[in-house]
Structure 1
Amino acid sequence: MKAGAADGGTGRHPVLRRIARNASWVLAAQILSALLGLASLAFAARALGPAGLGMLAAAQAYGWILNRLLHLEPWQSVLRFGVEAQEAGQQQRFLRLVKFSLLADLAGGGLAGCAALAAAPAAAGWLRLGPEGGSYLMLLALALFLNLRPTGLAVLRVLDRFDLLAKADVAVAAVRLGLCAAAWAAGLGLWGFLLIALLEGLASGLAAFVLALRQLRRSGHGSLRQLPLAGLRRENPGLLRLLWNSNINVILRQSVQRLDVILLTALAGPAAAGSFHLARRLGEAAQKLGRPLNQAVYPEFARKWAAGDAAGLRRLALGLCGAVAASGLLLLALLAPVMAPLLTRLFGAEFAAAAPVVCVQMAAAALLLTGMMLGNALLSCGRDSWLVRMSLAASALFLAALAVLVPMAGPLGAALAHLVLGLALTAGNGWLLLRPLPPRGGAEAAP
């Protein structure tokens, strides 16, 4: 009894304090990064106008998609097995995982960078970026070669240094804001903001890694240079399988959604893509502010399920989703009447016509947030395979809506496609949650 009491009295509270501390760092970094990012967007929009902003967005989306498709990020695998190695005091095993991660990042970055350089001339023509479009894409492709952020992220999280990661992200966002303000004041055009995007990509890719190496040295870990990789797979069974599985779901979900700017640029031109990019960034900022709530409620869902309270889990999930949806509708009702003058004041008169697109994108962001929250409820009660199927179906529906609506309505069509995606995820995940749940610890029934 004493041991149990000690565990309950002292063993759990440090864990809760650590979770709260790390979550607060993540939340603060997300809020500050979102605000700094919107300020940077305002300077870029005023300097470039819709067409220039669309070209910048298309060039960034091009590199991002190739990086996501060809650079398998190893941080989830390293985090999973690295924590186990640290807990067991197996320093060499942990360092082998870090070296494997570094080599995987270098290989993936090299593959993505070479592909981006090789395909740039053809992609620039398809995206209608003009005679210098290939050079735009090639410039931003250089940052792909040195994207070591996944390794840095894994090491800092294993070593419980979320604070360093948060500070690095906010610092990069702050420097980007300063450079964007200077570029706007100096009257620099698209090349100036492309150079800023390149510097931001390099800083984001290297800052976390440099901090991770310094933290490894301060923690007393040895050098990676002469460390052999022999025995890596034996020490970490399932490492490569986890590397693949942890990436494939993210690749499918994120790459599909990032195709909107590429398709819109190709079909409707850079100016339409610029207006939509502005709307999407505003929606993403609102969604980012709601993600900490989404992360915080997952343990509560799990506790309801562990207690056998399926009805309580449903009530909690549906109640929270109703509150999020109501808050989103209230915010939209307040902002919609003044959206056009607000966009004019913040981003310039050329973006006033994007007000309907912004309103639709904000509604889509609220629906996506509720869909993700319902997805967490499904994960907590063992319906992960159903969730994957629903995500794939919703992504297919999104692509179909994008292909049909963009030629018809341009940037508004792209925003409506996101609204379709949000509706599909919210309705589909809600339907799955309302179906009879499997017994706790039991297998899922087929839908």
Structure 2
Amino acid sequence: MAATRSTAKNSLSALHPRELARSLSASLNQNALLRSRIGSVFHLLTGNFGVAITMLASTAVAARTLGAADFGALALILALGRVCERLVRFESWQPLIRFVAAEENAADPQRLSQLYAYGLLLDVCSAFLAAVMCVVTGWLAASHVGLTPDQGKLVAVYAAAIAINFRGMASAALRMSGKFRTIAYIQFVGGLTRLALALLVYLTGGSLLEFIAAWTFAQALDSLVFNWIGLRTLAQNGIPSPFKASWRKLSDKFPGFLGFAFSTNLSSALRTLTHEADTLLVGFFAGPAAAGLYFLSRRVAKIAQQGGDLIQTVAYPDMARMWTGKGIANLAQTVKWLQIILAVGATVAITLCWFAGEWALHLVFGPDFVDAFPMLLAQLLAVALVLHAAPSRSALLAMNRPTYVLAVAAAATVIFFATALAALPSLGAVGVNLAHIAFGLFTAVSLDVAMWRGLGRVRAEMAEERLEEGKA
């Protein structure tokens, strides 16, 4: 130990005073950044927990009012809408963050405005297409997943919210500005609105139509407020509104943006097939009541998953900057610590569910929904695997490897459906939860291996460059 301290002391004393100052300054800046990001994570988790509570409360009100069969119909209608939305909606914040990080040093407000306009254009077009697809799907496919013709028409009501649910541009603006507190607490607008409307429907003895209308209005309001704040953030940073930017020849001005966007969108679409279409799969094989139980297990487990998504929200912009600035060691440390934090959180969630899951389901949702407990426990294990993969996925996107991420998502999707179709006939809805476990395990291993190998190669290349510079 003494030798170690002596070696460290001699190494520091051997540094030139300017080098020592730069080293200490970098260490202080890194510690300040870490404290800032911990604070951001705290706000995001606090906001996410509050929104999750309001969502569960709204879901509980709907479940107790409608009963198992009609609540299952509500779950299937929402799932149909979300599948259509996420199959074609661009996650434009991902390419925006990647390209804005590369453009920041130039600091050209007009060019940044055009870049955000590119993302906004993709957002608006894909939202409109998703709404149209939602209406058509509700008309054609509703009866195949257990909905009556009248219930299928309600999908068109929910499509109104999908048509204006574009928020990729605003999300990128807030994330790049470090406004994670705003992201955390703005979610309460939609959550509290949904809960208030659900209680109103409950008190008036409302129907399935009124619950769908409540969900639609709350989501639409949330999207409008989110975009308004995103545009204000751009203005505060001196970036003109994307609505006023020239939208001509954007693909020529930002080559590679559209390809990156398509790749991440396909990856997101494949995840949608396993995270939203799964409810439809249960409805097709087992009917609306089973779909309602399965949907409930997914909603509860999603609380833990959203916590991981929000930590990733904080980390991804920094990862993109680290990669651009050759901060490979910091990137590796960030991934490692995020995975440790997420593993601890997932373990706590699974333990709580094991000891109190059945009691909580009975208390909050009623005796008709206690049968969701095995599905909930299995889903939490699947969520733990997905959470573990989230930081390495962000790192690979920052490393400009969206094609590999897409390939992993495609292979994992095939594994998911093969497992689900094999397990559903004998195990029922819980078979889909097991398919999620298989999906998560394959994704976590594949992304981790590629990321650590990639970082190792870059470190070796940088070491060789330093060696050659030393010889020169």
Give the TM-score, by structure 1 length.
Answer: 0.82
Matched, 1:111 2:129: yes
User: What letter corresponds to residue 193 of structure 2 in structure 1?
Assistant: V
Alignment gaps of 5+ in structure 1 = none
The residue number in structure 1 matching 2:180 is 162
The residue number in structure 2 matching 1:211 is 229
Q: Label 1:208 to 1:378 Cα distance change in 2 as closer, same or farther (>3 A).
A: closer
Q: Deviations over 1:387-418 (max 9, x none)?
A: 66554333212111212222333322222322
The residue number in structure 1 matching 2:439 is 421
Q: Label 1:389 to 1:441 Cα distance change in 2 as closer, same or farther (>3 A).
A: farther
Worse-matched range after superposition: 57-66 or 160-169: 160-169
Matched, 1:331 2:349: no
Determine the C-alpha separation between the residues in 1 that align with 2:231 and 2:363. 44
Alignment gaps of 5+ in structure 2 = 1-17, 462-472
Q: Label 1:14 to 1:194 Cα distance change in 2 as closer, same or farther (>3 A).
A: same
Q: Indicate which of 265, 272, 289 corresponds to 1:247.
A: 265
Residue 314 of structure 1 contacts residue 433 of structure 1 at CA under 8 Å; is this kept in 2?
no
Q: Indicate which of 76, 80, 86 corresponds to 2:98.
A: 80
Matched, 1:273 2:287: no
The residue number in structure 1 matching 2:118 is 100
Identity of aligned residues (%): 27
Matched, 1:183 2:201: yes
Matched, 1:121 2:142: no
Give the TM-score, by structure 2 length.
Answer: 0.78
Residue 101 of structure 1 contacts residue 151 of structure 1 at CA under 8 Å; is this kept in 2?
yes
Q: CA deviation at 1:135?
A: 1.5
Determine the C-alpha separation between the residues in 2 that align with 1:58 and 1:249. 23
Determine the C-alpha separation between the residues in 1 that align with 2:89 and 2:381. 32
Q: CA deviation at 1:439?
A: 4.5
Q: CA deviation at 1:198?
A: 0.6
The residue number in structure 2 matching 1:69 is 87
Residue 75 of structure 1 contacts residue 154 of structure 1 at CA under 8 Å; is this kept in 2?
yes
Q: Indicate which of 131, 149, 171 corresponds to 2:149.
A: 131
Q: CA deviation at 1:329?
A: 5.2
Q: CA RMSD in A?
A: 3.9
Residue 85 of structure 1 contacts residue 91 of structure 1 at CA under 8 Å; is this kept in 2?
no
Determine the C-alpha separation between the residues in 1 that align with 2:309 and 2:360. 25
Residue 354 of structure 2 contacts residue 377 of structure 2 at CA under 8 Å; is this kept in 1?
no
Worse-matched range after superposition: 268-277 or 258-267: 258-267
User: What letter corresponds to residue 270 of structure 1 in structure 2?
Assistant: P
Q: Deviations over 1:265-309 (max 9, x none)?
A: 122111110011111111121333455677899999x99x9569x
The residue number in structure 1 matching 2:11 is none
Q: CA deviation at 1:347?
A: 0.3
The residue number in structure 2 matching 1:49 is 67
Aligned length: 437
Residue 324 of structure 1 contacts residue 370 of structure 1 at CA under 8 Å; is this kept in 2?
no
Worse-matched range after superposition: 131-140 or 380-389: 380-389
Q: CA deviation at 1:114?
A: 1.4
Residue 297 of structure 2 contacts residue 376 of structure 2 at CA under 8 Å; is this kept in 1?
yes
Q: Deviations over 1:136-171 (max 9, x none)?
A: 111111112112211211222233322322221122
Determine the C-alpha separation between the residues in 2 that align with 1:224 and 1:379. 24
